[in-house]
Amino acid sequence: MKRTVNLKKFYKYAISFFGYFTLSVLDGKYSPFPLALLVANLYVGLKPFPSFILYAITFIPSMQIIPIFTGVIAGLIISVTFAFYNKFRKKPNLEIALICAISLVPYCSFAPLSLLPLKLIVSASIILSSFVMTSGAKIWLIKGLKYKFDLNDFCSAVFLYLCSAYGAIIAFGEGLYLAFSLFSLLICSLFIKGYSPLLVGAITSLPLALFRLSFYPISTFTILSLVICLASAYSKLFTTVLCAITLSCFYFFTDFFSNLSIYAPFYSFASLTLYLFFPVSLSEKYRKTLAIHKTDNLNKYSINMHRNIISSRLFEFASVFDEMKNSIEKLNQLSCEKQDLTSVIANEFLTSVCARCPSYPNCKSLDCPSYEDLQKIIGLARAKGSLNLVDLPKSVCEICDFQEDVVSFINKLVLTYSLPIEEREFLKQSRELIIKQTEGLSVSLKRLGADLSKQLQHDLDLENKIKDNLLRCGLPVKEIAFFKGGEEDELVIVTYSDFISHPLLLPAISEITGYKSVITTNNRISQDLSAITIKKAPSYDAMFGLANKVKFDKQKSGDTHSIIKISEGKFLMALNDGMGSGAKAEETSATAISLIETFYKAGLKSEIVLPLVNKLLSLGEEDTFTALDVGIIDLFNCKADFVKVGSPYSFIITKDTVKIIEGNSLPLGILEEMKPTVCRTDLSTGDVILFVSDGITDAFETSADLIDFLATQKALNPKTLADNILERALYLNKGIAKDDMTAFCVRIFKKAT
């Protein structure tokens, strides 16, 4: 079986070998400085034998017996010690300092340095460095970019880098190191947005500053870092060109490159070329990896977990109401399947009355009364409430000798069974009302559960773009969060309260997201800060117009209207005509419209709302009838649902024609059962929806006359159109409002981009 190369292991040992080599040349005498890195590498888990081999090879270029001997002996002692500990699955603790001291005895005894105190200082620095480098080795070799390190880890990693970088300058020269540092700055601007190149520039400039014993490299790298920070916000090509110009200025107008080889500028421009063609997919990958450290993952998990728990509980509660609805429907079905009460009374009469009559044998032989005749008699008694002698059929009167007793007993049986009938009917209506209520609660809970199922997610690239764009407008943002899923995504921004009404806030966000935005909620979280929720704004908007007139002999109108926001981008318009006029009609109409508003706000559909309102109105002691027009308009897709209950024609006035919306159901409250018909249609920008009460339609002789009049009113705004319709209706009625008159108009138009 063919073995594959483990790239991770190769990377670990390759970078370790580079570290051993650069540390071995720190003082130019091949002192055992790599021993500190060997201890750190073995402590973080590298294998003792291959690590020792790589460590020992770095002393061979010295071509001197004593450095090779002292370095190899020290490394061998350390490697054997760690191998022994690894056998027992343990790691050395503070005793490693003593072991390091023992391993450095040959160095202190045979190294060519003339002064023993100097050897002891080098040995002490190696021992101390082994402790300092351990955390850094863990970052460079084990955890890498996926590890969020603290200040101690950061300092350790930087210390290890500075030591290796100083040795690299000695080994390979300043030109190559400058090219590497430049490439590091450029790549950092790809992985981490903002001013991170400044920190990287400060760190990478230190080894060169120490090598030259000058602050000149620090100032040079600072300028170069600032150029990269400013240019990287635009494009890689712009950054490359600007860096090339900056390096050219350093080359021609300063002596920064004076001590470098002639190839040094070419190394730097090679770094710029590598950066320019660095794969975008790779930079995105590492940017997302580093974004983990900027994210409060535990808080994100906690928010999403609690949202999921609440959402699942809401769906569980909804299923409880669904089960209640199904159970009640089954009970109603069982009640309806029971034997008809007319047959029950007929059977009771035959067994309790006729069977005990002395003339029963004669009547039975003549089939008097027949079962069909008896059912007709009982049905008539139930309908009238009581039976008279004249109600008996001729066939019964000619044969039966006890007609008065028949009438009396049938009336008693009907009276006996009438109370349970009323109770059953009331129970049936109550069950149906509960069914509608539980169905509505289930729908509302499911909708709320779907809203809460949105998950908090982090898109660092999009967040940075929004922050940068807002900052250019002078609107700094503290935090940004995205909730994705469900019907609509949400963007939550924490910023200063004074900035929320700024005219550039939403345009700056829309410029990045690619769609128009709207603020849906605004919550103050401190004296200065507020959290706002932003969603996609609908593509369309609406204008409203109303004109009404109370009946000439009344003080109050039975016509009521409503315009409410159901959700972002969806609204309801309704016109309700309480039967009659005056205070009672107004109360009935207001009650119906209030119920409708409440149920629609809760997220219920027309198929649930209207039967439920109808049931509530029909349960009143007095007859309360109301005619209703309902329109639900979606401003995202410009579609509308219309429901008409006992109301006159409604209209959609387009630029070309006038469309009629009609319905065939009776007014609310007349029948106990109703199934509303929903008419769905597409709208276009400029269309006007018109609802009118019967006071308007009755003023025109025919609907054709009204349509002809509307055809002349297409280009008007909603308020003017409503006023003109009312004025025309009053003119046709000779200026008298014979009934409550209302015209309710809505004009749809597309928002400007």
> Residue 230: enclosing H or E segment and its boundaries?
helix 216-231
Nearest residue to 251 via CA among 162, 168, 182, 198: 182
pLDDT digits (tens, 9 = 90+) for 649-687: 888 888 888 888 876 665 555 555 556 667 888 888 889
* pLDDT at residue number 163: 92
C-alpha distances out from residue 477 to 189, 300, 482, 529, 596, Å: 21, 19, 14, 10, 41
pLDDT band, residue 646 (cuts 50/70/90): confident
Domain 540-750 matching CATH 3.60.40.10: the answer reads yes
pLDDT digits (tens, 9 = 90+) for 143-164: 665 556 677 888 888 999 999 9
Q: Please tell me what DSSP assigns to residue 262.
A: T
- Rounded Cα distance between 599 and 705, Å, is 36
Is-cis flag, bond preceding 197, omega within 30?
A: no
- Rounded Cα distance between 704 and 407, Å, is 58
Question: Which residue carries 């910023």 as its tokens?
Answer: 495
Is the pTM value of this prediction over 0.85? no
Q: Are 37 and 133 in contact, with CB atoms under 8 Å apart?
A: yes
Q: Are 749 and 541 in contact, with CB atoms under 8 Å apart?
A: yes
**655 contacts: CB under 8 Å, gap ≥ 6:** 684, 686, 714
pLDDT digits (tens, 9 = 90+) for 477-489: 888 877 776 566 7
Phi-psi group of 394: left, alpha or beta (phi > 0 → left; psi -120 to 50 → alpha; rest → beta): alpha
pLDDT digits (tens, 9 = 90+) for 317-332: 566 556 555 655 554 5
The two three-digit tokens of residue 423, written as one number: 């109770």
What is the arithmetic mean of pLDDT over 379-391? Answer: 73
In the predicted structure, residue 337 carries a pLDDT above the cut 50: no
- Rounded Cα distance between 271 and 243, Å, is 11
The domain limits of the chain are 1-171, 173-294, 296-453, 456-536, 540-750
pLDDT digits (tens, 9 = 90+) for 523-547: 888 788 888 888 888 888 888 999 8
> For 359-473, where are the E strands, in sequence order?
455-457
Residue 523 carries which side chain, given as an amino acid letter? N
- Rounded Cα distance between 687 and 212, Å, is 78
| More confident: 574 or 667 | 574
Phi, psi of 79 (to 5 degrees): -65, -45
456-536 maps to which CATH number?
Answer: 3.30.70
The two three-digit tokens of residue 66, written as one number: 């004593």
Q: Over pLDDT 70: what percentage of the chain?
A: 75
C-alpha distances out from residue 661 to 367, 634, 640, 704, 715, Å: 58, 18, 12, 14, 20
What is the arithmetic mean of pLDDT over 686-697? Answer: 88
